[in-house]
Structure 1
Amino acid sequence: MINEPSDLDPAGSEPIELAPALLDHLAAVRAEALQTLESGDPVYGVNTGMGNLSKVRLSEEAQRRHQRNLLRGRAVGGPPWLPSEEARAVLIGRLRTFLTGDAAVSVELIHQLVALINNGEVPKIPAEGAGSAGEIIPLAHAFASLDPGPKEGIALLAGIPGATGRAALAVTRVRRLADQLTAVGAGAIAVAGANRDPYQAVAARGDEVLAAELSRLRELAGDEQQPRSLQAPVSFRVAGQVVAHVRRTLQQLDDAVERAFDGVTDSPAYLDGEFVGTAGFHGLDLTAYCDHLTVALAHAAEVSTARLHRLLDPSVTGLTAQLARDPGPQAGLVAVHKRAVATTHQLRRLTLPTAISTAETSNGQEDVQTFSWEAVGNLGEAIRRTRETTACELLAVRQAFALSGRPIPPGLRPLLQAVDEVVPPIDTDRPFGEDLTRILTEVL
């Protein structure tokens, strides 16, 4: 039962039910807003046109058609469509902003939206091509099946609820991915016999996030009484700093998501008894931290790929070349590293700042943009590709343990046992892409 807007999690999958007291509050706001509209004062997008046509006043007859037309005329997107989980997050993001009361929409529309979320058949929402201040194009697709009343068409299109909902989902995914990055990195440290000095608590003075990450690495990797060398390669030594940075930027994005949900994003918003034009659609805060996290993941993937390369090197691990059972006749996991290299190359192209672009639309009425929809799309792609490089390194860690005979530290046993359940022992070359797919779908 949702009693407050903050109770609604865009990453959740359970059916949504709204508390009667919350609905009563929203109904009271709606009644007051409709009474304010009766004054006839201009209210953007309600009794006026939109964008550069906002100077045009609409007749009562035009107003009745206008809210529905707002959705129809802006549904200009096409495939590729968002995955169903992301599409659901868009719908929940819109619902959460409505529950503040700023949009002054009817309880009837909220019931329509809840039914759309709960029926399990999410609408087709374009993954690309938002191209405006805000995200009116994907939102027009998202809510095409709803029947808006006065002021409700523009309310459905206002702000950046879609990017915010998708970012909330990304936060949940990256939190899990960060734990996997830590575990796989710890596995590489353990099986390579890396010196544990870089992971001591004294090395994290003044940085609580790093201290916690180093503690996790030490716990998972276990102690090493006789390290193979005084210094392991840099990709091993910086494992704590890399994932600590992912976790730190993840928290920054999580905070930005909450600001976006808690702040005023509707325009015009019904605030203190009057309609107020706002700039809540300008999602620079959200965009910047999506970009920041994308860069952090790209670096984590690069470091993971570098460690994977070192695991194939006998001078680092003391194991057979390329982790092959019979080097020469067998190539081992060298092609797995090549896949990771290609994936990190693709990741680098996602790291350009999204909001550094000005483009005019609506005859100059919208003359700057932040492209938050694109930023969260880049982040989703970065998550997917970082999971790929993590899977590649995990396969190598598992094979290295099998060849080394080293005992698996207790903290790593559940992860490596999960790999063993879906990946047969590697005794010869085979299509390792199939193994990676099983790891991605059943382990990570």
Structure 2
Amino acid sequence: MITLNGHSLTIVQMKKILFDKERIQIDDLSLEKVKTSREAVERIVEDGDVVYGINTGFGKLSDVPVPKEDVVALQRNLIHSHACGVGEPFPEPVGRAMLILRLNALLKGVSGVRPVIVHTLKDMINANLSPVVPQQGSLGASGDLAPLAHLALALMGEGDVFVKGEVRPALEVLDEYNIQPVTLRAKEGLALINGTQAMTAMGVIGYLEAENLAQYADLVSALTIEGLQGIIDAFDEDVHIARGYEEQVDVAARIRDYLEGSRLTTRQGQLRVQDAYSIRCIPQVHGASWQTLKYVKEKLEIEMNAATDNPLIFDGGEKIISGGNFHGQPIAFAMDFLKIAVAELANISERRIERLVNPQLNDLPAFLSPQPGIQSGAMILQYTAASLVSENKTLAHPASVDSIPSSANQEDHVSMGTIGSRHAYQIIQNARKVLAIEAICGMQAAEYRGSENLAKKTKQFYTEARKVVPSIEQDRIFSKDIEQLDHWLKTRMCEEVTPVVS
């Protein structure tokens, strides 16, 4: 059981809730803070004090006062008008992550919602429900308004939810799970949609996949080194300590660990003096991507525990301030950085693929073909990898440098962070397919060299992966091999092969 308190949620805990179906509970002290902030909202409504979002319009309409008898209609209208997302829905785990993050933010006790809101969110999470949320439509400030409005619809018994992989009407599912739909009252609609939970949820899911992909990038590259009889000296610890980047040192240590006992690696001067950069510089390039992952994780965990709605209520209602915590710039930058880091893992992987298949760059059969000429072998696998990395380059264009004013120029600078997080996720999917192609080619090269000569750990990977993708003995529909190995890499945690060296 994981306790949410608005302050200490981690990505590791998110992974347990989302994928291990670990249940959550609400911290008692945090619930008291929620009650206190709600009391402040109800005093404001009763006294008729004018406070943005409680009894005023929104955005450019913030100067329009709303009578006390209309505050409930104000919140309902807010959700209905803002639920205008379009496109395919976010993957089911992303919608559920949005529920978790929205609940955690409300538990900071500065948003002014009733306890029933947090309890309903908790019940939906523990029932493994997920709102169906269209991916497109957010500017990333004032937060993820359109996506989160679709989340709010699910709480109200409107819209749709995912349940056990199936899309069903929210009201029907809530009734089935004995969860009472909520009627939003003063400020509650705004508290639910004014935040960065869509971009952050997408970022968390992307990060988890990117971390696993980066681990496999190190392992698969070690297999490629063996397939090309690479020079092990370039991974000597002293070389990497001399530069000083911790992550670079770690990658070199992992490569040495993976290749321990290999009879396929060489020493400098044995076959050649130096390897190409895509081999020799694996620690430098992969290490830089690991640095970026560390940065992204740090920013995500801050945002996961952040109050990002507006206004915020402090000191029991004595201080209520309209600010801009909903602006997604920190996550927008992190997602753009993540895009670049993962795209580079694919870029250098594609260059290693080229070295594996190009007969002008190695002494292996041309394109690893069992019958060069009659059979094309892995020739077009490299084409596919090149196409994917090229697509990644267009997706890696930073979303965060763009901004379009909205709400009659009241909201005149936005982050586009949700676009960045979505594109990061697409890049991760593409990069893993490139890595799958490298693994297929690396295994084939190792087979020509003699798979019995592989290091213990790369041999373990080779043996397991061969159950997914058999040896290339005849040209076949390689699309199926790529998709199958991609799925295997995605769903199999790399830690099962070997732990990350710290």
1:220 is aligned, of 240, 258, 274, to 258
- CA distance in structure 2 between the partners assigned to 1:225 and 1:336 by the alignment: 27
Deviation for aligned residue 1:102:
1.8
1:320-335 mapped onto 2 (5 Å cutoff):
320-335=365-380
Q: Which amino acid is 1:426 matched to?
A: I
Q: Does 1:376 align with 2:421?
A: yes
Deviation for aligned residue 1:347:
0.2
1:222-263 CA distance string (max 9 Å, x none): 363455321112111111112111111111111111222334
1:171-226 CA distance string (max 9 Å, x none): 22111111011001111112211112221112222211111111111111336345
Structure 1 residues 225, 301: closer, same or farther in 2, change over 3 A?
Answer: closer
Deviation for aligned residue 1:37:
4.4
Query: Residue 36 of structure 2 aligns with which residue?
Result: 28
Query: Residue 194 of structure 1 aligns with which residue?
Result: 230
Q: Does 1:156 align with 2:201?
A: no
Deviation for aligned residue 1:29:
3.3
Asked if the contact 2:37–2:112 (Cα under 8 Å) also holds between the matched residues in 1, the reply is yes
Query: Residue 209 of structure 1 aligns with which residue?
Result: 247
Q: Which amino acid is 2:294 matched to?
A: Q
1:240-295 CA distance string (max 9 Å, x none): 11211111111111111122233431210112232211111111111111101101
Asked if the contact 1:94–1:162 (Cα under 8 Å) also holds between the matched residues in 2, the reply is no
Q: Secondary structure at the match of 1:364?
A: coil
Deviation for aligned residue 1:132:
5.7
Deviation for aligned residue 1:21:
4.4
Asked if the contact 1:102–1:270 (Cα under 8 Å) also holds between the matched residues in 2, the reply is yes
Q: Does 1:237 align with 2:293?
A: no
Q: Secondary structure at the match of 1:279?
A: coil
1:254 is aligned, of 283, 292, 297, to 297
Structure 1 residues 87, 420: closer, same or farther in 2, change over 3 A?
Answer: same
Identify the range of structure 1 (351-360 vs 223-232) with the bigger mean alpha-carbon deviation: 223-232
1:275 is aligned, of 311, 320, 333, to 320
Structure 1 residues 3, 375: closer, same or farther in 2, change over 3 A?
Answer: closer
- CA distance in structure 2 between the partners assigned to 1:393 and 1:211 by the alignment: 23
- CA distance in structure 2 between the partners assigned to 1:243 and 1:145 by the alignment: 41
Q: Does 1:127 align with 2:170?
A: no
Asked if the contact 1:419–1:443 (Cα under 8 Å) also holds between the matched residues in 2, the reply is no
- CA distance in structure 1 between the partners assigned to 2:387 and 2:35 by the alignment: 54
1:54 is aligned, of 51, 59, 62, to 62
Query: Residue 461 of structure 2 aligns with which residue?
Result: 415
More strand by share: 2
Query: Residue 89 of structure 2 aligns with which residue?
Result: 81
Deviation for aligned residue 1:10:
3.7
Asked if the contact 1:199–1:240 (Cα under 8 Å) also holds between the matched residues in 2, the reply is yes
Identify the range of structure 1 (197-206 vs 24-33) with the bigger mean alpha-carbon deviation: 24-33
- TM-score after normalising by structure 1: 0.95
Q: Secondary structure at the match of 2:395?
A: coil
Percent pairwise identity: 27
Q: Does 1:309 align with 2:354?
A: yes
- CA distance in structure 2 between the partners assigned to 1:380 and 1:287 by the alignment: 13
Identify the range of structure 1 (129-138 vs 355-364) with the bigger mean alpha-carbon deviation: 129-138
Query: Residue 401 of structure 1 aligns with which residue?
Result: 446
Q: Does 1:69 align with 2:77?
A: yes
- CA distance in structure 2 between the partners assigned to 1:130 and 1:372 by the alignment: 8
- CA distance in structure 2 between the partners assigned to 1:353 and 1:315 by the alignment: 36
- CA distance in structure 2 between the partners assigned to 1:259 and 1:75 by the alignment: 27
Query: Residue 4 of structure 1 aligns with which residue?
Result: 5
- CA distance in structure 2 between the partners assigned to 1:135 and 1:104 by the alignment: 19
2:125 is aligned, of 117, 126, 141, to 117
Structure 1 residues 123, 261: closer, same or farther in 2, change over 3 A?
Answer: closer
Q: Which amino acid is 1:236 matched to?
A: I
Identify the range of structure 1 (338-347 vs 168-177) with the bigger mean alpha-carbon deviation: 168-177
Q: Secondary structure at the match of 1:367?
A: coil
Deviation for aligned residue 1:317:
3.7
- CA distance in structure 2 between the partners assigned to 1:417 and 1:187 by the alignment: 12
1:432 is aligned, of 478, 498, 501, to 478
- CA distance in structure 1 between the partners assigned to 2:463 and 2:54 by the alignment: 60
Asked if the contact 1:135–1:159 (Cα under 8 Å) also holds between the matched residues in 2, the reply is yes
Gaps of 5+ in 2: 156-181, 491-502
Asked if the contact 1:191–1:400 (Cα under 8 Å) also holds between the matched residues in 2, the reply is yes
- CA distance in structure 1 between the partners assigned to 2:27 and 2:414 by the alignment: 37
Query: Residue 496 of structure 2 aligns with which residue?
Result: none
Query: Residue 94 of structure 1 aligns with which residue?
Result: 102
Cα RMSD for the two superposed structures: 1.8
Structure 1 residues 114, 396: closer, same or farther in 2, change over 3 A?
Answer: same
Q: Does 1:286 align with 2:287?
A: no
Deviation for aligned residue 1:443:
3.5
Q: Secondary structure at the match of 2:307?
A: coil
Q: Does 1:139 align with 2:177?
A: no
Q: Which amino acid is 1:254 matched to?
A: K
Q: Secondary structure at the match of 1:330?
A: coil
Query: Residue 295 of structure 1 aligns with which residue?
Result: 340
Asked if the contact 1:192–1:228 (Cα under 8 Å) also holds between the matched residues in 2, the reply is no
Asked if the contact 2:104–2:304 (Cα under 8 Å) also holds between the matched residues in 1, the reply is yes
Q: Secondary structure at the match of 2:470?
A: coil
Query: Residue 53 of structure 2 aligns with which residue?
Result: 45
Q: Does 1:182 align with 2:227?
A: no
Q: Secondary structure at the match of 1:127?
A: strand
2:206 is aligned, of 158, 167, 170, to 170
